[in-house]
Structure 1
Amino acid sequence: MNVHFLAASQICQFFSECGAVLHGEYMSHDGKPLCLRDYNERHGVKCYECHKFIAGKVLQAGGYKFHPTCARCSRCGLHFGDGEEMYMQGDEIWHPSCEHSRTTENIAVNFSTYRFHIRLV
């Protein structure tokens, strides 16, 4: 993510669509200024858990991306950290040590279980 600061006002690359005049802080992609809304819509990363755009650090497990505060074990409730291992089945993620302690009553048995290592990007 490229955050820049302006000395003077500038318009968003997609000004004709959004009408945003940029002041102070703005986003950049390929050297072109974008307002936050346009940057997120075109290049933003959404959290797998909360479905909101991620600004800042991202926890990644396989192709899934999370806010660091959204990546929680569905069985013990603790956060996942950089380098930790996790299992995922459907929408449920858990620590390997929580494998046999299910807090969710209705877990579908037809989902495949995937094993990932979390990394902070």
Structure 2
Amino acid sequence: PKQTPTAPIFTSGYNQVQTGFNSQLKKSISSGGQPTGRTGASAGLTAPRRGRGVLNPQNLTPGARVPLCGQCNLYIRGPFITALGKIWCPEHFVCTNEKCRRPLQDIGFVEEDNGLYCEYCFEQYLAPVCSKCSKKIKGDCLNAIGKQFHPECFNCTYCGKLFGNSPFFLEDSLPYCENDWNELFTTKCIACGFPIEAGDRWVEALNSNYHSPCFNCSKCKVNLEGQSFYAKGGRPYCKSHAR
């Protein structure tokens, strides 16, 4: 059966309110009305610097420069160790942790805060803790949203997709991939199905949201923003096509 209009034509006074409301919505979205993650973000990858010292025999070449230990600031008259562009007496090339002082020549080192540490002390006392799994991060570390993660632990809250170098979007301080964030949190135009972006003009009518260019007569497609229209079957119509 033929449907009849379920709502009267809006008056000119109401049209003025409707147009003003669109302007307020635009201002609200531009100033942060949309979810906080819309600008996107990315994670920074860091890794501890590891290495091994090189033992050098005493240089007896006439006129050669006598090495100076970077730890005790004394000249080294015997073999010396080089690492990271610095020189050490063999007895001073040890773990920085005062309670350890383990020689590093044969086991390698991890550099942290300008100090050299054995692997045990780094993992025990200095390695960051992953904000998701609560385990120590011994290798590559992702720094994002003020927290630290294993690369394999920093993923979309909804679908679990790893971000890698891709941008992510925040909602209630939780990260989402762009597809899920758009699907879950953006206001969508009921006419075209696409998100209403920050700064877009939009219309709220018939308990739905529309981009301003999408708020058209369901029959002839004439734009109805700020115009009188009929509501029929939950859809907008111009006066000519409402009956």
Q: 1:75 aligns with which of 139, 158, 167?
A: 158
Q: 1:97 to 1:3 in 2, by over 3 A?
A: same
Q: Deviations over 1:1-26 (max 9, x none)?
A: 2212035685422253x474433321
Q: Does 1:33 align with 2:116?
A: yes
Contact 1:87 1:96 in 2 (8 A): no
Q: More helix per residue: 1 or 2?
A: 2
Task: Measure, in 2, the Cα distance between the counterparts of 1:70 and 1:37.
Answer: 23
- % identity of equivalent residues: 22
In the alignment, what sits opposite 2:175?
A: 93
Q: How far apart are 1:57 and its partner, in Å? A: 2.7
Contact 1:2 1:27 in 2 (8 A): yes
Query: How many residues matched?
Result: 100
CA RMSD of aligned residues (A): 3.1
SS at match of 2:110: strand
Structure 1: unaligned runs, 5 residues or longer: 102-121
Q: Which runs of 4+ in 1 moved over 3 A?
A: 6-11, 18-22, 29-32, 40-43
SS at match of 1:38: helix
The structure having more radius of gyration, on CA atoms, is 2
Letter in 2 for 1:82: N
Task: Measure, in 2, the Cα distance between the counterparts of 1:87 and 1:6.
Answer: 44
Deviates more, 1:80-89 or 1:29-38: 29-38
Q: More strand per residue: 1 or 2?
A: 1
Structure 2: unaligned runs, 5 residues or longer: 1-47, 56-89, 185-243
TM-score scaled by length of structure 2? 0.33
Q: Does 1:49 align with 2:132?
A: yes
SS at match of 2:122: helix
